[in-house]
Amino acid sequence: MILVDDTLVSEELKSINFSCDLSQCKGDCCVEGDAGAPLEEEEIALLEDALEEIKPYMAPKGLEVVEKTGVFDYDIDGEYVTPLVNDRECAFVYFENGISYCAIEKAWLEGKISFQKPISCHLYPVRLTKLKHHIAVNYDRWPICKAALLKGKQENLPLYKYLKSPLIRKFGDSWYHKLARAMEDNE
């Protein structure tokens, strides 16, 4: 682990090469799993405030779930997550040409809202875990990302570089530069 400010970062962010390949995985991280995407408490209010602008991009079943239950649910540990359709796909997913996309991000890309998407989604395949005095930043292995590992290897793109934008979004530019220096120093 590499200590950067109050975070413990797995060295796998350097050793794992990664680059999403939607043509291969079809965005299955949005439709597979046993819980919705983790949400930070402040993201719930952002979703509630932006919901009317997000709704036009949502699939009908997802819209139905959100209108019935709201923009969040709880996982087995009592943590906030996005609600699911049929205990499977994120309520905010929509499908285009057989690929899953995020309705929240679509509204953001079209300038309708200022919230890009949950940080947990933006950071994936990295997951954050709150510890007593630190935040652990770890790579989450999932077979559906197999094509991303192959593409990342072809591009020689370490995970921390692939995730530069979301890591800066979460932890800040200064933090990211400290991480990059630490990763380079450990070569």
DSSP secondary structure string, 116-135? -S-HHHHHTTEEEEE-SS-E
Give CA–CA dist 7/136, Å, rounded: 6
pLDDT, one tens digit per residue, over 149-178 is 999 999 999 999 999 999 999 999 999 999
Question: What number is the average pLDDT over the span 59-70?
Answer: 96
pLDDT at 113 over 90: yes
Token pair, residue 47, equals 């979703």
Give CA–CA dist 137/124, Å, rounded: 11
pLDDT at 128 over 90: yes
pLDDT at 139 over 70: yes
Query: What is the residue-averaged pLDDT of the chain?
Result: 93
- Residue (of 30, 35, 38) closest to 106 by Cα position: 30
DSSP 22-35: HHHHTTGGGT-SSS
The per-residue pLDDT for 80 is 96
Q: Between 37 and 34, whose confidence is greater?
A: 37
pLDDT at 33 over 90: no
- Contacts of 126 by beta carbon, 8 Å cutoff, 6+ apart: 13, 137, 138, 139, 140, 159, 163, 167
pLDDT at 187 over 90: no
Q: How confident is the model at residue 50 (pLDDT cuts 50, 70, 90)?
A: very high
Q: What pTM was computed for the model?
A: 0.91
The per-residue pLDDT for 186 is 62
pLDDT, one tens digit per residue, over 67-80 is 999 999 999 999 99
